[in-house]
């Protein structure tokens, strides 16, 4: 069903801002002014962004900033989650979407989790006709981007 992705991401952002309140992490958002209706399974899409944002929090240093950005283009909407965390070495970047893959086994064990989050996220995003990618610099930070099909014209039929 068509759901306002801006509303969905705002709620996720607020939830993580609350969770990280006593940590020194600054979560910011940059969204378009208009709603962004996307056809989606809402619960599944929440799972996707929960995982991406929780990774960003998990791998952020104290005092780090996380930016959640949404940009609409002609036929698509891009959502980018950028952190200032440990980053991912080039040779691992393709693998993080594989099941059970974790970059640093020892560190990953300390931080908990199963290594399934991004594999599940990728499946869900692809089932929505979208794609997910990573852009990261080791020791500088990581951007995970999700692109979903989006049509401004669809707005008109929403809420009928």
Q: Is 102 in the site for ligand ATP (CB under 6 A)?
A: yes
Q: Return the residues of window 117-156 that contact Mg ion according to CB under 5 A.
A: 117
Binding-site member from 18, 116, 127, 158 for ligand ATP (CB under 6 A)? 116
Length, in residues, of the chain: 160
Rounded-to-integer distance, Cα 30 and Cα 73, Å: 15
- 145 and 83 in contact (C-beta within 8 Å)? no
Q: Is 60 in the site for Mg ion (CB under 5 A)?
A: no
Q: Is 142 in the site for ligand ATP (CB under 6 A)?
A: yes
Minimum separation from the CB atom of position 67 to ligand ATP (A): 12
Rg (CA), the chain: 16
Q: What are the start-end ranges of the E strands in 16-108?
A: 26-30, 37-39, 65-72, 76-83
User: For Mg ion, which stretch binds (CB under 5 A), given 49-57, 64-72, 99-107, 122-130?
Assistant: 49-57
Q: What are the start-end ranges of the E strands in 6-153?
A: 26-30, 37-39, 65-72, 76-83, 131-137, 141-149
Q: Is 118 in the site for ligand ATP (CB under 6 A)?
A: yes
- 128 and 148 in contact (C-beta within 8 Å)? yes
Q: Is 114 in the site for ligand ATP (CB under 6 A)?
A: yes
Binding-site member from 3, 55, 136, 142 for Mg ion (CB under 5 A)? 55
- Interface residue list for ligand ATP (CB under 6 A): 51, 55-56, 59, 83, 85-86, 88, 96, 101-103, 108, 113-119, 142
């Amino acid at each position: 069903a068509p759901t306002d992705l801006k509303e969905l991401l705002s709620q996720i952002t607020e939830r993580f801002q609350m969770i990280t309140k006593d940590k020194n992490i600054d979560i910011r958002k940059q969204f378009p002014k208009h709603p962004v209706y996307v056809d989606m399974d809402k619960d599944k899409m929440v799972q996707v962004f929960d995982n991406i944002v929780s990774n960003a929090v998990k791998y952020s240093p104290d005092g780090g900033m996380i930016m959640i950005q949404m940009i609409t283009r002609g036929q698509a909407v891009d959502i980018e989650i950028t952190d200032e965390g440990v980053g991912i070495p080039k040779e691992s970047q393709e693998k993080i979407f594989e099941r059970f893959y974790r970059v640093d086994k020892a560190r990953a064990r300390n931080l908990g989790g199963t290594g399934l989050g991004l594999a599940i996220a990728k499946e869900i995003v692809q089932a929505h006709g979208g794609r997910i990618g990573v852009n990261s610099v080791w020791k500088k930070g990581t951007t995970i981007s999700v692109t979903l099909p989006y049509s401004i014209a669809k707005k008109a039929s929403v809420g009928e």
